[in-house]
Structure 1
Amino acid sequence: MFPVIASAVGSAVGALLPRIAAAVGVFAVSTIAIKPIINALESKLLGEMANLPTGVREFLAFLGVYDAIAIIFSAYLMLIGIQAAKAAASVKASKKG
């Protein structure tokens, strides 16, 4: 009975390990490499906008431009993460078959 359970657990871990490794790799690349770049670009843009006159900054804040910039940069970060995950899944699928 024990060899059957050990074999089942081994095959389950063997099947899940490439997917777990791909997910960890995508997370690591997104967190370590891409996220700081996107955050630096966002902070540079917001820093440049901080040099605008006070009235203009208040008007932009009223319009929600600062929130829109944060949403846009977050969306790009999400897009890059999704594309990386999709590429990792397709490479894994092509190696399997």
Structure 2
Amino acid sequence: MPSDSPLCLCFHISQRKVWNYLRIHQPQRASQLSECFGAGTGCGWCRPYLELMFQRWKAGALQPDDLPVPSEYAWQRTQYVQEEGLVLPPGATPTDDAPPDRSTH
């Protein structure tokens, strides 16, 4: 996933923004990433990825390299939101209507 792609689709928070927050604020727990413009406090889809970024940061990694491509990430979130019956917060990136074209991956 490119670093400028949204990680938190509810509040449009990029991976780069989270990484900079980690670097500057040096939180002690992954849950403190919610202080980064509300990351992870909307539908909750990005929480495992925030935890992954936190764990990688604590281990000294420069940034996670195994996050899905943006279209796949958005589609997985759509499925999560539908399965859980969630209502997205106002202003959130809407869910996708169709799965991504996987023939290009």
Same fold (TM over 0.5): no
Of Structure 1 and Structure 2, the greater strand share is in: 2
TM-score, with length taken from structure 1 = 0.26
TM-score, with length taken from structure 2 = 0.25
Greater C-alpha Rg: 1
Of Structure 1 and Structure 2, the greater helix share is in: 1
**RCO comparison, higher one (Cα < 8 Å, 6+):** 1
